[in-house]
């Protein structure tokens, strides 16, 4: 686990201590906006795709999904370095502290490179349905709030109210779940509205919570968009598939800057990215029709696609309540911990990057299940849900056991170190051993 840089070491090395300030400005000059060739090429390619002959070629060939994917990918990839320099020039940085694991101050504002290409791809392709305008307005609200939060931290309660308002805009525009039968009239309408709010806000926050490691939110956003788009094509919802392709391209274009095989992320997407990605994808899932005449099958498809996000949200909620870490709604929305799935997997695998790739593989496995639901029945849908449940249960058992063995190994090393006097006295070793054993018992009870 990486820790924030030691203040004394920074001062001895002649480096400023930036831990006291959440954001520290770099000089903003014209040089901040001079780009290298690697940035110009994708931006010029994206600009070339704006010409009507090129756009008409993709449309006439039936490749509009590919057009939106490529355009948003190129635009996002080329726009991200601009966001990096803008964040450095204006001092919008995520500075390490006790609850963060990145070692250096990292630029924020990456959400710009995700949201702007997505919206641009939608507009230039003339997708102007009422539901789309409602989604763009609502996601624009969350995007603006996310940028404000990157600049100056906003209370969790305010962000939750904004999410409720944004979800309400989507519902008013006509995007509502139809789970409860319509013959229940008012009760059905009220229930469907409540379920829609619950789904959108839940997935929005689940995606935001996943943004705890380099590449996690962008990778999950790209994979979920992929499976939403493929499932939409199976049910001949090409309009929905185009929008999913635009989001997928935006996430993939940002990903190389946020997830690097060697080295740390060059930029974080912040709330303006992760929150907006979750919100848009959750809304697209509500907009889609995922079953012929069976509501259970229709629900199963998006559940499998979002399965890992849903599982992580349920797991941490139960764990935090059972351990007494949160006791009310306010504490739940404000709590920040390292008990998410990606943290736990990283503890077992010993690497954050391995954890990210492992969760990507999990998401791919559950997402493929959604693609076999076309023309299926309740029995198949139920078996797929059981399979997905058993998968995450088995992984949870293994990762809990792995962490337990690691702590037991640490206890043995401490005991041996105390016995030979190489590290600290035996009494201190014994106290440390007891503390670790108590922690193991507490974690096992969770």
pLDDT digits (tens, 9 = 90+) for 300-317: 999 999 999 999 888 888
Q: What is the mean pLDDT of residues 13-42?
A: 51
Query: Is residue 21 pLDDT above 50, yes or no?
Result: no
Instruction: Compute the distance between CA of residue 206 and CA of residue 313 in angstroms, rounded to an integer.
Output: 6
Q: How many CA atoms lie within 13 A of 268 on its CB side?
A: 25
What is the structure's pLDDT at 130? 82
77-86 pLDDT per residue, tens? 999 999 999 9
Q: Is the dihedral of CA 215, 221, 222, 224 positive or negative?
A: positive
Q: Are 263 and 103 in contact (CB under 8 A)?
A: no
Instruction: Compute the distance between CA of residue 405 and CA of residue 395 in angstroms, rounded to an integer.
Output: 15
DSSP annotation of 262: S
Report the domain count for the chain.
1
Q: Which residue segment(s) compose the domain that 185 sits in?
A: 22-289
Query: Is residue 322 pLDDT above 60, yes or no?
Result: yes
- Nearest of 391, 195, 197 to residue 308 by alpha carbon: 391
- Who's near 93: CB < 8 A, 6+ residues apart? 18, 22, 23, 24, 87, 105, 106, 107, 108
Query: Is residue 32 pLDDT above 90, yes or no?
Result: no
Whether 283 maps to a domain, the answer reads: yes
Whether 154 maps to a domain, the answer reads: yes
Q: What is the mean pLDDT of residues 25-47?
A: 65
Whether 358 maps to a domain, the answer reads: no
Q: What is the mean pLDDT of residues 397-406?
A: 77
Quick one: which H or E segment has residue 307? helix 307-322
Whether 403 maps to a domain, the answer reads: no
3 falls in which pLDDT band (50, 70, 90)? very low
Whether 355 maps to a domain, the answer reads: no
Helix axes 216-234, 271-287, angle to 10 degrees: 20
Instruction: Compute the distance between CA of residue 369 and CA of residue 385 in angstroms, rounded to an integer.
Output: 9
Whether 116 maps to a domain, the answer reads: yes
410 falls in which pLDDT band (50, 70, 90)? low
Pairwise pLDDT comparison (120 vs 417), residue with the higher score: 120
Q: What is the mean pLDDT of residues 161-168?
A: 94
Whether 48 maps to a domain, the answer reads: yes
Q: Are 148 and 111 in contact (CB under 8 A)?
A: no
Among residues of the chain, what percentage have pLDDT more than 90? 37
261 falls in which pLDDT band (50, 70, 90)? confident
171-212 pLDDT per residue, tens? 999 888 888 777 677 888 888 899 999 999 999 999 988 887
Report DSSP letters for 374-413, one per residue.
Answer: TT--HHHHHHHHHHHHHHHHHHHHHHHHHHHHHHHHHHHH
């Amino acid at each position: 686990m990486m820790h924030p840089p030691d203040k004394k070491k920074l001062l001895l090395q002649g480096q400023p201590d930036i831990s006291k300030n959440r954001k520290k400005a770099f000089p903003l000059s014209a040089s901040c906006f001079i780009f290298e060739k690697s940035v110009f090429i994708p931006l010029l390619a994206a600009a070339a795709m704006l010409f009507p002959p090129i756009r008409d070629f993709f449309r006439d060939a039936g490749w509009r999904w590919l057009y939106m994917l490529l355009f948003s990918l190129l635009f996002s990839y080329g726009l991200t370095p601009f966001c990096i320099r803008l964040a450095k020039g204006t001092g919008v940085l995520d500075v390490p502290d006790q609850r963060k694991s990145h070692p250096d101050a990292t630029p924020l504002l990456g959400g710009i490179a995700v949201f702007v290409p997505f919206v641009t791809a939608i507009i230039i392709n003339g997708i102007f349905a009422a539901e789309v305008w409602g989604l763009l307005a609502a996601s624009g609200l969350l995007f603006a709030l996310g940028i404000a939060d990157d600049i100056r931290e906003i209370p969790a309660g305010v962000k939750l109210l904004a999410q409720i308002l944004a979800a309400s805009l989507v519902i008013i525009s006509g995007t509502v779940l139809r789970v409860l039968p319509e013959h229940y009239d008012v009760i059905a309408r009220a229930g469907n509205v409540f379920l829609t709010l619950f789904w959108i806000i839940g997935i929005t926050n689940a995606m935001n919570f996943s943004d705890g490691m380099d590449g996690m939110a962008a990778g999950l956003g790209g994979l979920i968009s992929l499976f939403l788009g493929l499932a939409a094509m199976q049910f001949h919802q090409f309009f929905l598939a185009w929008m999913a392709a635009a989001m997928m391209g935006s996430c993939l274009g940002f990903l190389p800057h946020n997830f690097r095989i060697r080295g740390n992320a060059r930029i974080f997407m912040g709330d303006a990215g992760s929150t907006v990605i979750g919100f848009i994808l959750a809304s697209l899932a509500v907009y889609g029709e995922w079953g012929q005449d069976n509501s259970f099958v229709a629900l199963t498809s998006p559940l499998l696609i979002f399965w890992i996000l849903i599982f992580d949200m349920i797991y941490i909620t139960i764990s935090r309540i059972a351990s007494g870490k949160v006791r009310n709604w306010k504490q739940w929305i404000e709590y920040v911990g390292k008990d998410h799935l990606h943290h736990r997997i990283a503890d077992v695998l010993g690497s954050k990057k391995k954890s990210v790739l492992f969760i990507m593989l999990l998401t791919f496995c559950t997402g493929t299940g959604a693609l076999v639901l076309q023309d299926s029945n309740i029995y198949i849908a139920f078996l797929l849900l059981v399979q997905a449940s058993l998968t995450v249960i088995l992984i949870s058992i293994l990762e809990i056991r792995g962490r337990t063995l690691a702590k037991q190994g640490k206890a043995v090393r401490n005991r041996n170190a105390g016995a030979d006097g190489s590290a600290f006295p035996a009494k201190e070793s014994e106290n440390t051993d007891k503390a670790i054993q108590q922690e193991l018992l507490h974690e096992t009870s969770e």
